[in-house]
Structure 1
Amino acid sequence: MSKKYEGLAKGIVDKIGGIENIESMHHCQTRIRFKLHDDIKADQEALSQMEGVPKVFIKGGMLQVVIGMHVAEVYEEVEKIVGPKENQSENAERIHSEGKEKKKAFDVLADFVSSIFSPIVPALAGAGMVKALLALLVVFKLVQTTDQSYVIINMIGDATFAFLPMLLAFTTAQKLKTNPFLATVVAGIMCHATWGGLVAAKVPVNLFGIIPLFLVRYTGSVIPIVLVVLVQAPIERFLNRVVPKAIRLVIVPMVLFLIMGVLALSIIGPLGDYVGNIMTVIFTWLSINVSWAPPLFMGGLYSLLVIFGLHHGLAPLGTMQLAQMGYDAIFGPGVLVANIGQGTASLVVGLLSKDSKTKQIGTSAGITGLMGITEPALYGLNVPKKYPLIAGLVGGAFGGLFAGVTQTHRFATGSSGLPAAVMYIGDNTMRYFYQILIAIAITISVSAILTFVLFKRFEKDTELNAPAATELLQDV
């Protein structure tokens, strides 16, 4: 294994207060996120000045160290130094959290929503791509919707969405530190074929003749199972406390299944379904009456949310609309053009610049941005120089406006870069695919032209030196 990033990893650990100051850590696509015992011990200024660390900030109670596309390799070296830090006892976690400043409500909600949806994104992306492939087969008349081949491939693509409650039950239980397997079984009760048959029969169902079970189909739903696991977690902890260890293994699951099965089908599930229906009404209203607004907002402002680490809380909106309605029109299109805008701006600066370092950062980060990962472009070039950031925001807004006006739909989730265009193939038509290509073209054109004009205006014959870049970054 290469030790290329061993020095960087050691420097990061030293400057955040050492091994003893790290409570837990994990990484996403471009950042290592540390939960520290004492944030004050972390020298953020020294971290920001390290070669290979474009940006450092604290958000959502975590120190976020931006690395770039090679974050997994750096994280691996950090893990070698620190050792496993993910599993902490509840008591230790309670002790370490005492006296800490409480997180803001939005940060807590965003962290919770992001934590339960992020792990299932690969499954959703894969399922969506299967549906896109099926749409291509139909468009090119290679299969008919009445063929058995269509039915089987459609079933393969639908499986993730049909059993989405079971996936969410597992991730929600993990987040709440309760048994994910028991939670998945409860979700299985809600998705069971027998219950589906009772719902289809439309005959009132009463347990023991006194407890009405509302006829709601839960396959493909999102909100009901999340509410169920939120209730299940404290009940499970209570049962584990009061049931003797000798019989806990069999008694707790049995009692939990009976209690949560009844609650899920009688009260919590129907309540969650009602909330889900309200969200569907909102999504439908947005899609019909102001379809231009969400993509315009996301295209023009999403990159600013990325800078401050606020973007993860919005991603599940697209996933929820995808689960509820079969497509996403409020998150995906705007984010795609936002990333394209920032990537284009960075790439243009890199191509125009005479400074070798700026050229290297601009071109490499620009290409990465076009592929859907914009942090290297944002922190390495666009934010320090400011005008590429503005050009990318304007380009993203124009592209988002077109995508919104034309009601462009995405049928899968995944990285929002140029390869994501195929996720707009669906509903047995190529219409949305062509629309997103036009939106991308508009974004690239506007971002490139505006970056070129601003480059000539602000750069002239000199390049922004490193100290000035750092000063501008701090101003932003």
Structure 2
Amino acid sequence: MAKYTELCNQILENVGGKDNVSGAVHCMTRLRLNVKDRSKVNVEEVRKIKGTVGAQFSGDQFQIIIGQHVSDVYPEFCKLAGISAADAIDENLDSEPFSLKAVPSKVLDYVSGSVAQIIPIMMGAGFFKMFYAILGPDLMNVMPNESQFMQMLYLVGNAGFYFMPIFAAWGAAKKLNTSIPIALLLGALLVDPNFINIVAAGEPFNVYGFIPMQLNNYTQSLIPILLSVWALKYVWRFLNKIMPSAIKVIGVPFVAVVIMVPLMYCGLAPIGNWIGEGIAIIVNTLYDVAGPFAIAFIGAFWMFMVATGMHIAAIQIAFINIATLGYDPIVLAGSNIANYALMGMIVAYFIRTKNEEKQMAAANMITLLVGGISEPTLFGVLLRNKRAMIVQVIGGFVGGLVGGLLGVAVYTLGAANVLTVLQYAGGPGSNFVNACIACGVAFVVALVVGVVIGFNDDSNGEGFKLFKKK
């Protein structure tokens, strides 16, 4: 949109110009840039730009916090940077020398960039699952599950996750700038009814009659298709180079599918399934060992993980848990509780501060509780005030511990504001009730502690040296 032209121009000017931007994507609140030369990025100047809330490097990405209207800013930024929306997430990873040290960040960036684009699907379908659970017999018992209205809620909510391989294939293909149609076909092959019937039959099956295939159900999965689309990128590129021009239009798609079908069914998809199972084992082991303290730890320190970008890896695990297990018992379970502690803290900050700080707190409070945007409170209050940090840690820890003791888990994605607790709906009715208790405890504890201890002798706060501006 034209009204964001000045904002985008200032961003480009301070990230080294459009020639220094190799790719861009956005999540719910952040514009995520891949830059060729990090030394050309003036982080402090970007933070000062009117319209930005903060900026930081996270792995190889330069993330600029803009707010929930980032989806409006993104097209204008792509236009001024000279990149199309489809190409905006092509990071030209192969142009960089291979580095074993960089592999984890590359993998994380690929998963994050692929999943970020399908979050609206997960959220939209999640609301249908949420209302199905709330209105059904397990909670309010407003309607029977057999009613047509409830059946429609179930249909839409279930489809949003059942066909996850197809949605993820689209996001991954856009991320890697490879063939979207063939990627969608690969995703569809993982959930095709005929394939599901072969798996259900449990009898040995060979692709093309001679390549043995593992019998796994890949509905609601993420990793198998992410691995497959990653391989497709190289297969597609290779075929485009060697295929004669006269038959390229027909030959490349056909041969790509011929190669990718056994590669996916017999190799990459099973490997992805093993990785998913391994992550589930790690998460369950952590929960078994640490128990309630796992959620308490996340509740206490989640906002600091967000500030440093450490939350990205954990979020991917949460998405994989929801896609494979149907729920996330640790990461989102604790992070949502942390969000309520932040709400309690900012309300207490509004009560205890004066003058300009009170006005700023009022704006942040409305932005957080109503709009679901945490960055103004996170960077404007929490990270520059020692006592605000103490309040956040205590509220998040106590609320997280309660949630851990009650065994809460997140089943859907939904609102990020005061209605965040609705993300716990979708499972047993008791889970939602327990989540309300845990989130309420986090909010009240943070509010009470903040009101009691105040926010330092300086209304502007001082903040730890780690977070001070130079």
Deviation at 1:145, TM superposition (A): 4.6
Equivalent position of 2:417 in the other structure? 417
2:129 is the alignment partner of 1:135: no
Which of 459, 463, 469 matches 1:463? 459
5+ unaligned residues in a row in structure 2: which ranges? none
Deviation at 1:9, TM superposition (A): 4.5
Equivalent position of 1:439 in the other structure? 438
Deviation at 1:156, TM superposition (A): 2.6
- The whole-number CA distance in structure 1 between the counterparts of 2:164 and 2:267 is 20
Deviation at 1:303, TM superposition (A): 0.7
CA deviations 1:399-452 (Å, max 9, x no partner) are 11111111112211234432122222223x421221111111111122112222
Deviation at 1:349, TM superposition (A): 1.5
The answer on whether the counterparts of 1:384 and 1:470 sit within 8 Å (CA) in structure 2 is yes
2:208 is the alignment partner of 1:214: no
Equivalent position of 1:359 in the other structure? 358
The answer on whether the counterparts of 1:342 and 1:389 sit within 8 Å (CA) in structure 2 is no
Helix, strand or coil at the partner of 2:390: helix
- The whole-number CA distance in structure 2 between the counterparts of 1:150 and 1:90 is 38
C-alpha change, 1:185 and 1:22, in structure 2 (3 Å) is: closer
The answer on whether the counterparts of 2:341 and 2:396 sit within 8 Å (CA) in structure 1 is yes
Give aligned pairs, total. 467
- The whole-number CA distance in structure 2 between the counterparts of 1:397 and 1:89 is 39
Identity %: 28
Helix, strand or coil at the partner of 1:58: strand
Amino acid in the other structure paired with 2:380: G
When structure 1 is superposed on structure 2, of 365-374 and 251-260 the one drifting more is 365-374
Equivalent position of 2:375 in the other structure? 375
Amino acid in the other structure paired with 1:442: V
Equivalent position of 2:468 in the other structure? 474
Equivalent position of 1:109 in the other structure? 107
The answer on whether the counterparts of 1:24 and 1:86 sit within 8 Å (CA) in structure 2 is no
C-alpha change, 1:308 and 1:101, in structure 2 (3 Å) is: farther
Amino acid in the other structure paired with 1:62: Q
**What's the TM-score, normalizing by structure 1?**
0.86
Matches within 5 A, 1:92-241: 93=92, 104-139=102-137, 140-145=140-145, 151=151, 153-207=153-207, 209-241=209-241
C-alpha change, 1:343 and 1:249, in structure 2 (3 Å) is: same
CA deviations 1:280-325 (Å, max 9, x no partner) are 3444445555441432222111111111122222212122111222
Helix, strand or coil at the partner of 1:34: strand
The answer on whether the counterparts of 2:216 and 2:270 sit within 8 Å (CA) in structure 1 is yes
Helix, strand or coil at the partner of 1:33: strand
Helix, strand or coil at the partner of 2:117: helix
- The whole-number CA distance in structure 1 between the counterparts of 2:334 and 2:89 is 40
Helix, strand or coil at the partner of 1:206: strand
Equivalent position of 1:329 in the other structure? 329
- The whole-number CA distance in structure 2 between the counterparts of 1:302 and 1:272 is 28
- The whole-number CA distance in structure 2 between the counterparts of 1:388 and 1:311 is 20
The answer on whether the counterparts of 2:22 and 2:90 sit within 8 Å (CA) in structure 1 is no
C-alpha change, 1:307 and 1:279, in structure 2 (3 Å) is: closer
C-alpha change, 1:192 and 1:238, in structure 2 (3 Å) is: same
Helix, strand or coil at the partner of 1:412: coil
- The whole-number CA distance in structure 1 between the counterparts of 2:18 and 2:232 is 35
CA deviations 1:231-254 (Å, max 9, x no partner) are 222222211111112111212222
2:449 is the alignment partner of 1:453: no
- The whole-number CA distance in structure 2 between the counterparts of 1:63 and 1:91 is 15
C-alpha change, 1:154 and 1:472, in structure 2 (3 Å) is: closer
When structure 1 is superposed on structure 2, of 194-203 and 206-215 the one drifting more is 206-215
- The whole-number CA distance in structure 2 between the counterparts of 1:443 and 1:186 is 44
Equivalent position of 2:57 in the other structure? 58
- The whole-number CA distance in structure 1 between the counterparts of 2:397 and 2:89 is 45
C-alpha change, 1:359 and 1:36, in structure 2 (3 Å) is: same
The answer on whether the counterparts of 1:178 and 1:236 sit within 8 Å (CA) in structure 2 is yes
Matches within 5 A, 1:33-72: 33-72=32-71
Deviation at 1:397, TM superposition (A): 1.5
Helix, strand or coil at the partner of 1:313: helix
Provide the alpha-carbon RMSD of the alignment. 3.3
When structure 1 is superposed on structure 2, of 147-156 and 98-107 the one drifting more is 98-107
Deviation at 1:57, TM superposition (A): 2.6
- The whole-number CA distance in structure 2 between the counterparts of 1:326 and 1:152 is 19
Equivalent position of 2:302 in the other structure? 302
C-alpha change, 1:446 and 1:265, in structure 2 (3 Å) is: same
- The whole-number CA distance in structure 2 between the counterparts of 1:80 and 1:311 is 30
- The whole-number CA distance in structure 2 between the counterparts of 1:186 and 1:401 is 42
**What's the TM-score, normalizing by structure 2?**
0.87
- The whole-number CA distance in structure 2 between the counterparts of 1:90 and 1:74 is 15
The answer on whether the counterparts of 1:326 and 1:411 sit within 8 Å (CA) in structure 2 is yes
Helix, strand or coil at the partner of 2:419: helix
- The whole-number CA distance in structure 2 between the counterparts of 1:245 and 1:470 is 62
Helix, strand or coil at the partner of 2:448: helix
CA deviations 1:225-284 (Å, max 9, x no partner) are 222223222222211111112111212222222222122222332332233333334444
Deviation at 1:212, TM superposition (A): 2.0
The answer on whether the counterparts of 1:345 and 1:388 sit within 8 Å (CA) in structure 2 is yes
